[in-house]
Amino acid sequence: MKMNINLKNRVAIVGAGLTLFRRRLKETPKELAWAAAKMALESAGLELSDVDAVVIGTAPDAFDGIHMKGEYLADGSGGTGKPVMRVYVGGGTGVFTPIAGWWHVASGLFDVVLAVAEEKMSPAMPHPQSVFAHIWDPIIERPIGPNLIWIFALEMHRYMYKYNIKKEDIARVSVKNKRNALDHPAAQLGAKITVEDVLNSEMLVYPVQRLDISPVSDGAAAVVMVSEHIARRITDSPVWVEGVGWSLDTVHWTGRDLAYPKYVECAARMAYKMAGITNPAREIDVAEVYDPFDYKELHHMEGLMLARKGEAPILTREGITERDGDLPINPSGGLLGVGNPIAAAGMMKVTEIYWQLRGEAGKRQVKKPVYTGLAQAWGDLMQVGTVIVLRAG
Amino acid sequence: MVSLLSDVAIIGVGWYGFSPVTLEASFREMAFEAAVSAYEDAGDLDPRKDIDAFVTCEEDYWAGISITDEFMPDQLGGVLKPVYTVAGDGLQGIASAYMKIKTGLFDTVVVEAHSKASDILTFHEIMNFGFDPLYTSHIDAHPYYLAGLEANYYMLTSGVGREHLAMIVEKNKRNAITNPLASYGSKLSVDEILEAKYVVYPLSVMDIAPLIDVAIVFVLATKDKAKKLSDNPIWIEGVGWATETNYIETRNFGEALYARIAADMAYRLAGIEDPKKQIDLAEIDDKFSYKELMHVEALKLSNRYSSHLDLERGEFNRNGPLPVNPGGGFIGIGHGLEAGGLIKLLEATLQLRGEAVGRQVKGVKRCVVQSWRDIPTATGAVVVLSNEEV
Amino acid sequence: MDEKVRLKGTPIKRFDETITVERSSTAKYAWTAGQAISRFLVELKKGKLIGRRCNKCRRILIPPRMYCESCFRATDEWIYVEPIGTVNTAVVSYITTTREKLEKPLIIAVIEIEGTGGSGLFHYLEGVNPEDVINRKVFGMRVKAVWKPEAEREGSINDIKYFVPITGGEEK
């Protein structure tokens, strides 16, 4: 792969939209996609007729209960009569959708692309967890009867064991993110809680407790991505896509180093190389790091090389990752606070960096001036990292 | 939109299967075999070093696995590399890879799609699960009712008769006889075909392409890489894809608008103004016999409502002026879920390389390849290929 | 977007607050196990654990596959391995797959199979207390597979009932 000197076209994000994130929303998946897409277009001052192509991101079909969910969502996402493509990397899809949007524009094929992510987990019966039963190898893993929380607990416990990390240091992430979410208008679980609350919450799969986990949610998010000449015409403050990266590890997760997300490192290296970033801890001003579980924020900070291995809990304990800290992580409130409609949650992280870099995050705006931000997601069988680096124009 | 021709080339192809049942291999083992062949064909590439990104095309419910992309990197050599899934047809995967190469960041991109249709015990029930859960799920019928509705409408407005559908079946099954990759070739008369039992009027079992298991891998590269690695690069001159609408009530029955929009985009990129003159061979989606006629018109290879007249004159025969599905099409070869588009792309690539054993058409320089995502979608893609560098 | 923006979406507490349409899919499959996993299952039924060796990276792959994902080449030979390993990580589950409370908690572990160069299996662990998991005493512990009686085996990963610690003095 080559350096960014070979890139032919720059791509900017010029609009963003979100719906509420809630346990259950009355709207259909199509209506949610439409609400987010409409808000994104309006904020960019563009109309549907300006859109050349649509990229859709959504995770398992079984949540919404529709085979070929991308086809179903096409209309609500503004894709009627247009080139529409759905991309899919499990939980990493939300950040991957604008990455795919990037190459639609950077290829020179399209000028205006709408990237829409939607997830409606509430329809799945008897519980969305039953959908996760089908993510395993059907022959050699599914017969054991695995629960999704098992694998994360296995990974979390290995991480704690290897670096001798205390549960209370991990719980601080949940406390921080739920507090940050109090200022997010989409948030499902913004709350003032303490480390003790997390440690006293229901034990599900040791070491995972109820308040370590993001909720099940419905929601949608969207961004508008345009070529440089359109961006210059319609806005004074475009947010440029400077780096994209993604990486998928082997499906045989039981043979991997569970204490370190190598796949996130590979994805980050790809994005940093493209963005010309050599010292991420110094050059990234604000980051939205994937946090479906509290330990995951720490794990991913290390994979992104924002913290040294085993040291993300120390940065968290010292308050460096708070909104007024030196390296604010998840100022939105993350998945733990805002909610986790899978693909939409990843895209929510991209919208947060977009608003942070434009100085439009209101009470969530981080204290220090920010020019370069990062959003990251993760998914499949603890296997994929997706990274996007954005810069203020 | 700006584009240069001959920026992106196909430099390697590989496949496994092309068989109604493949009990000897899992879908992962099938994809591995296809990948090994494709990398060898591309000039002995080592995917661990020489490939920049990997695209797989699949849908969860076809695999019976939620988040089925989990299972893809290992057998393609893509572990810890940029791998992702397009939940769409193989030609959409090709379009995705094409865009990535056009950005300037990627030199070599692999596209994989497979069908393990023989693993699926309830194909039509799953297909029904693709219909809108609120507006159309109350119709408790075989999902091919939608094809029946469309076929009836198209036949009524265009003057196409059931004998024309039978002529498509006759042509494609006959073409398949000499194609070593085809599973469903046979010599049948139009009269014999017309005697077959209806599934949904006006369509009989003969009008519906059967399924096969297959894994197909393509290697795409920039012009520089292609010239270094390949003796016979096939240039991708244009790509296009489109979704008309998911609402079946508001679709333009009888017109295949998705194919028209996709073709317009691909032709524009390829600089094609008169497809009838500039295209030598067409691989057209024939999951249902009538669709071949509709799609030929949508791609402007026949005038509207006159493709059946061109068919009657033998224009689409293997030795005619515009061969359509000379390898047998889906009706003769079998169709392979999201690998469908790649089955057609493979046929066109082999024709352009002069390697289409048993079904080679002479003097082919430019092909158009088209696919549709089957019931209940109105989504399709088009690719224009050439063996001449521009 | 600041915190005062009003976003679209109508929260509801329960589905009976709105009109719902119930639909279930009848999705059924007969997954082809393929070369590697078919042999693996046949050997499990015999009470044996088998892997495939890659002669380039020298790893023994369990579960077996006909290709080495690391070297991207066909694997070379079948190798039996002892169903013995060390605990890489373990957890205590208090809930079922659908999140109901379990009466007796389950212990689940990833076990590194000895001599394979990194292959792991995930399975149940018995013969240890939840406390041993919580205080991480089980990490690095040597364990062995306990098989179902031969008559009950059916060619499944569940032909191994669970793993148990290898107690002092006991050897393979």
Residue A384 pLDDT: 96
Is B26 close to C69, i.e. CB distance below 8 A? no
* Burial of A257: CB neighbours in 10 Å, binned 0-12, 13-18, 19+: exposed
Torsions phi, psi of C60, nearest 5? -105, 120
Mean pLDDT of chain B: 96
**Rounded Cα distance, A12 and C138, in Å:** 51
Residue A132 pLDDT: 79
Task: Show the tokens assigned to B347.
Answer: 């046929």
Considering Cα of C125, then C129, then C130, then C133, what sign does the dihedral take?
negative
Domains contained in chain C, CATH given: 34-165 (2.40.50.840)
C-beta separation of C112 from C88 below 8 A: yes
Residue A6 pLDDT: 65
Residue A350 pLDDT: 98
Among candidates C93, C97, C85, which has minimal Cα distance to C133?
A: C93
Chain B residues in contact with C28 by the CB 8 A cut-off are 120-122, 125
With CA atoms as reference, the chain C residue closest to B80 would be C70
Q: Which of residues 40-69 of C touch A (CB under 8 A)?
A: 40-41, 61, 63, 69
C-beta separation of A254 from A49 below 8 A: no
A82-111: b (≥16 Cβ within 10 Å) or e: bbbbbbbbbbbbbbbbbbbbbbbbbbbbbb
Residue C170 pLDDT: 59
Chain B residues in contact with C21 by the CB 8 A cut-off are 133-134, 137
Measure in Å the smallest separation between the Cα of C126 and chain B Cα atoms. Answer: 30
> Would you call B136 an interface residue with chain A, using a CB distance cutoff of 8 Å?
no
**Rounded Cα distance, B42 and B46, in Å:** 10
Does the pLDDT value for residue B65 go beyond 70?
yes
> Would you call B47 an interface residue with chain C, using a CB distance cutoff of 8 Å?
yes
**If you write DSSP's letter for every residue of A88-140 in order, what string do you get?**
EBTBTHHHHHHHHHHHHHHTTS-SEEEEEEEEE-TTSSS-THHHHTTSS-TTT
Q: Which of residues 135-154 of B touch C (CB under 8 A)?
A: 137
User: Which DSSP category does C165 fall into?
Assistant: E
What ipTM goes with this model? 0.96
**Rounded Cα distance, A255 and C119, in Å:** 5
Note down pLDDT in tens along chain A; length 393 residues: 444 456 779 999 999 999 999 999 999 999 999 999 999 999 999 999 999 999 999 988 888 889 999 999 999 999 999 999 999 999 999 999 999 999 999 999 999 999 999 999 988 877 777 777 788 899 999 999 888 899 999 999 999 999 999 999 999 999 999 999 999 999 999 999 999 999 999 999 999 999 999 999 999 999 999 999 999 999 999 999 999 999 999 999 999 999 999 999 999 999 999 999 999 999 999 999 999 999 999 999 999 999 999 999 999 999 999 999 999 999 999 999 999 999 999 999 999 999 999 999 999 999 999 999 999 999 998 999 999 999 998
Which phi-psi region, left, alpha or beta, contains residue A6 (left: φ > 0; alpha: ψ -120 to 50)? Answer: alpha
Is A250 close to B79, i.e. CB distance below 8 A? yes
Residue range B265-270: mean pLDDT, rounded: 97
The domain locations on chain A are 4-126+214-392
Helices C34-45 and B27-41, axial angle in degrees (round to 10): 140
Is C12 close to A24, i.e. CB distance below 8 A? yes
Give the CATH architecture of domain B8-122+212-234: 3-Layer(aba) Sandwich (3.40)
Chain A residues in contact with C2 by the CB 8 A cut-off are 185, 360-364
**Rounded Cα distance, A354 and A373, in Å:** 8
Chains in contact with A, where contact means 3 or more Cβ–Cβ distances below 8 Å, are B, C
Measure in Å the smallest separation between the Cα of A127 and chain C Cα atoms. Answer: 7
Helices B289-298 and B145-158, axial angle in degrees (round to 10): 60
Q: How confident is the model at residue B1 (pLDDT cuts 50, 70, 90)?
A: very low
Torsions phi, psi of C30, nearest 5? -125, 90
Task: Show the tokens assigned to B105.
Answer: 């960041």
Residue range B345-363: mean pLDDT, rounded: 97
Residue A4 pLDDT: 46
Give residue C37's identity as a one-letter amino acid code.
I
Residue C167 pLDDT: 84
Taking the alpha carbons at both ends of chain A, their separation in whole angstroms is 26
Residue A356 pLDDT: 98
Chain B residues in contact with A137 by the CB 8 A cut-off are 71
Measure in Å the smallest separation between the Cα of B180 and chain A Cα atoms. Answer: 32
- Angle formed at CA B296 by CA B291 and CA B301, multiple of 5 degrees: 175
> Would you call A28 an interface residue with chain B, using a CB distance cutoff of 8 Å?
yes
The domain locations on chain B are 8-122+212-234, 141-210+235-386
pLDDT in tens, B12-21: 999 999 999 9
CA-only gyration radius of chain B, Å:
19
Q: How confident is the model at residue B141 (pLDDT cuts 50, 70, 90)?
A: confident
Choice between A8 and C102, residue whose per-residue pLDDT is larger:
C102
* Contact residues for A254 (Cβ-Cβ < 8 A; gap 6+): C88, C110, C119, C120, C121, C122
**Rounded Cα distance, A360 and B81, in Å:** 35
**Rounded Cα distance, A98 and A350, in Å:** 8
Residue A375 pLDDT: 98
The 3-state secondary structure of C43-63, one letter per residue? HHHCCCEEEEECCCCCCEECC
Mean pLDDT of chain C: 93
C-beta separation of A324 from A200 below 8 A: no
Among candidates A308, A310, A360, which has minimal Cα distance to A332?
A: A360
Chain C residues in contact with B126 by the CB 8 A cut-off are 25-27
For C104, other C-beta atoms within 10 Å of its C-beta total 6
Torsions phi, psi of C128, nearest 5? -130, 155
**Rounded Cα distance, B30 and B22, in Å:** 9
With CA atoms as reference, the chain C residue closest to B39 would be C72
> Right CATH number for A4-126+214-392 from 3.40.47.10, 1.10.10.10, 3.40.50.2000, 3.30.450.20?
3.40.47.10
Measure in Å the smallest separation between the Cα of B302 and chain C Cα atoms. Answer: 40
Residue A100 pLDDT: 98
For B309, other C-beta atoms within 10 Å of its C-beta total 15
The fold for domain B141-210+235-386 equals: Peroxisomal Thiolase; Chain A, domain 1 (3.40.47)
pLDDT in tens, B200-223: 999 999 999 999 999 999 999 999
Does the pLDDT value for residue C130 go beyond 90?
yes
pLDDT in tens, C146-162: 999 999 999 999 999 99
Interface test with A, best of C91, C135, C136 (most A CBs within 10 A): C91
Q: Which residue has the tokens 């277009």?
A: A41
